[in-house]
Chains A and B, each alone.
Chain A
Amino acid sequence: MSRAALGPALALALVGLALASLAIGDRAIPAAELLGALAGDRASAPASAMIVLDLRLPRVALAALAGAALGAAGAVAQTVMRNPLAEPGLLGINAGAAVAALAGGLWLHGLPATLTPWFAFAGALGMAAAIWGLSWRGGTSSIRIILVGIGLNAMAGAAAAFISLFAEITALQRMQAWLAGSVAQARWETVWPLAAWTLPGLALALAASRELDLLAFGAQTARALGQRAQLAAGLAVALCALLAAAAVAAVGPVAFVGLIAPHLARRLAGPSHLARLPAAAASGALLLMAADLVGRTAIAPTQIPAGLLTTLIGAPFFAWLLWRGRHA
């Protein structure tokens, strides 16, 4: 496929998958009723309009936005760390966001949706700083960052389990669904804060695409060309934390989307971040929407959390990357 056709193709896939997700489910919605509801007509088929607009649309929007945020965060992380295995999930940035959001929820007896991203962002940023600080030896290498990140990720998982000991039983159930990574509890109140964090984050990443292009060369070449490479890398990591935190606050620590989507984007869009970042965001959105659609229809009425499905696809993909890397 030519690169010029990539944008329209991804847009078409997004719209197609969104419409399918709105139509398919416990109750199938006929095309006419679906389009009517989307046009704002609640009167002719009120039940269908309610299902489409109040139940499925926020769920689709949540999956699309969170997937886009995770995909873009992964693309930024892979560039800054210069490692195709770098991913906010593996590095523990998602887990840091989750622990902070959990702790905040416990402390305040339930976090309002608008406040959760702030806690998550603090956790993600704290985790990113910890990874950076612990792997710093007068400069840092990408392999050290990954190893430190994997270690901190495990610790954060333990911390999340510890925190949940103190939760009441009903809160605990909700927490566990969220920790598995799920868009099932989608409401418009969670969609808006996610959009308010994700869209500016994506815009910032796009505005910084030229800096990211240069960071991909490594600090030596970047500095020789006049870039303040350490500062640029630090800001890029903060941006990655912001995007990851936005997604985690809304849908929990969904794994592997941030790994797979940037790989697809790299294949599809090539090295320029101006093309690669939107492709990574779109791929992430498609992945999470597809995971949720399959998860809620495959063995209905039981709903498989989307995060479980992305792990089922992602873990073998990660193993394949490692295997390929060893034989490259």
Chain B
Amino acid sequence: MPEPMPKPMPKPLIEARGLHVAYPGRAVIEGLDLALPARSLTALVGPNGCGKSTLLRALAGLAAPRAGQVLLDGADIARIAPKRLARRVAMLPQGPIAPEGLSVRDLVRQGRYPHRPLLGGWSTQDADAVAEALRLTKLEDLAERPLDALSGGQRQRAWIAMTLAQGGEALLLDEPTTYLDIAHQEEVMALLRRLVDERGATVVAVLHDLNQAARFADRMVMMKAGAVVAEGSAQEVVTPARIAEVFDLPVIVAPSPVDGAPMAIPTGAGA
């Protein structure tokens, strides 16, 4: 069978091929193909229950596919040992919970788990990676504070610092801005943007806010019912016709007065 011609886009770091993921008795994703370019910020968007979180978990190797595969740099992640994979791909679940009484530094140190042998000590690389993660997230001054004493945005930054301490090239985040107020959302998205622009990280985030995704992401992937219905730049993905189709919501799309990114504004006609 002849291979389809590859689209002209940056070399993908993570790829899904013919991916099927199912929970007991229910297929969530059926036959999904997706290529995620390196060194860019990709936003996964779609209605509740469309399978975007499940896709993210599968891309991180945390949900075993029933069929198909996820490739990291061309290698099937199902054949990569969990610790080795965690050194390259970090995943932040939605609303993670930390044990009571943990300090920011304690949390960030956990990010070094996949690098440490079973009984190995704490190396200078470990210390450097933690210091670097705290610096990138601007948490140095809060490092000794207990997590419970931080604001929502600071806490989310601390969790991101933990994933940065893993030292991998890819960072997958499940709804990193949900439950945060608008200022803290902005803070978290700006941090992700910086990681891509300054550190060359590959970031994939499940986001609920379409306008936020359009403003910050290099690429958007829109899903419905376990399948990708559109992918590309924000201008390509965010159109009135597609949003009507995917969300069943009439909108107009206007360029943001700030940066020209497409903004979807509900017209109220569907309610």
Chain A positions near chain B (C-beta within 8 angstroms): 138, 207, 210, 213-214, 216-218, 220-221, 223-228, 266, 270-272
Against A, the Cβ 8 Å flags (1 = close, 0 = not) of B50-87 are 00000000001010000000000000000000111111
Residues of chain B within 8 A (CB-CB) of A228 are 82
Query: B62, A224: Cβ atoms under 8 Å?
Result: yes
B133 vs chain A, min Cβ distance (A): 14
Residues of chain B within 8 A (CB-CB) of A220 are 62, 93, 96
Query: A217, B97: Cβ atoms under 8 Å?
Result: yes
Interface of A is mostly: loop
Question: A152 CA to B113 CA in the complex, in Å?
Answer: 36
Query: B62, A217: Cβ atoms under 8 Å?
Result: no
| Chain B 109-158 interface residues, beta-carbon cutoff 8 Å to A | 110-111, 113-114, 116, 118-119
Question: A223 CA to B64 CA in the complex, in Å?
Answer: 12
Segment from B3-11, B37-45, B99-107 that makes contact with A: B99-107
Q: Looking at the complex, which one of B24, B86, B92, B97 makes contact with A226 (CB distance below 8 Å)?
A: B86
Question: A227 CA to B116 CA in the complex, in Å?
Answer: 11
Question: A266 CA to B98 CA in the complex, in Å?
Answer: 14
Q: Looking at the complex, which one of B84, B102, B106, B166 makes contact with A225 (CB distance below 8 Å)?
A: B166
Apart from the given pairs A224-B60, A227-B113, A266-B100, 14 other A-B contacts in the complex at a CB distance below 8 Å:
A207-B118, A213-B99, A213-B110, A217-B96, A217-B99, A220-B96, A224-B90, A224-B93, A225-B86, A225-B113, A226-B84, A226-B86, A226-B114, A272-B106
Chain B positions near chain A (C-beta within 8 angstroms): 24, 60, 62, 82-87, 90-93, 96-102, 106, 110-111, 113-114, 116, 118-119, 166
Q: Name which residue of chain B comes closest to A272, CB basis.
A: B106
B3 vs chain A, min Cβ distance (A): 33
Residues of chain B within 8 A (CB-CB) of A272 are 106
Residues of chain B within 8 A (CB-CB) of A138 are 24
Q: Name which residue of chain B comes closest to A208, CB basis.
A: B118
Question: A138 CA to B98 CA in the complex, in Å?
Answer: 23
Residues of chain B within 8 A (CB-CB) of A271 are 99-102, 106
Q: List 5 A-B contacts (CB under 8 A).
A: A210-B113, A213-B110, A223-B62, A226-B113, A271-B106
Residues of chain A within 8 A (CB-CB) of B92 are 224
A222 vs chain B, min Cβ distance (A): 8
Residues of chain A within 8 A (CB-CB) of B96 are 217-218, 220-221
Query: A225, B111: Cβ atoms under 8 Å?
Result: yes
Question: A273 CA to B59 CA in the complex, in Å?
Answer: 32
Question: A49 CA to B257 CA in the complex, in Å?
Answer: 91
Query: B82, A226: Cβ atoms under 8 Å?
Result: yes
Residues of chain A within 8 A (CB-CB) of B111 are 225
Residues of chain A within 8 A (CB-CB) of B99 are 213, 216-217, 271
Question: A213 CA to B90 CA in the complex, in Å?
Answer: 18
Query: B166, A210: Cβ atoms under 8 Å?
Result: no
Known contacts A213-B110, A214-B110; decide if A227 and B82 are in contact (CB<8 Å): yes
Known contacts A227-B82, A270-B101; decide if A207 and B119 are in contact (CB<8 Å): yes
Known contacts A138-B24, A207-B119, A221-B93; decide if A226 and B85 are in contact (CB<8 Å): yes
Query: B116, A224: Cβ atoms under 8 Å?
Result: no
Query: A225, B101: Cβ atoms under 8 Å?
Result: no
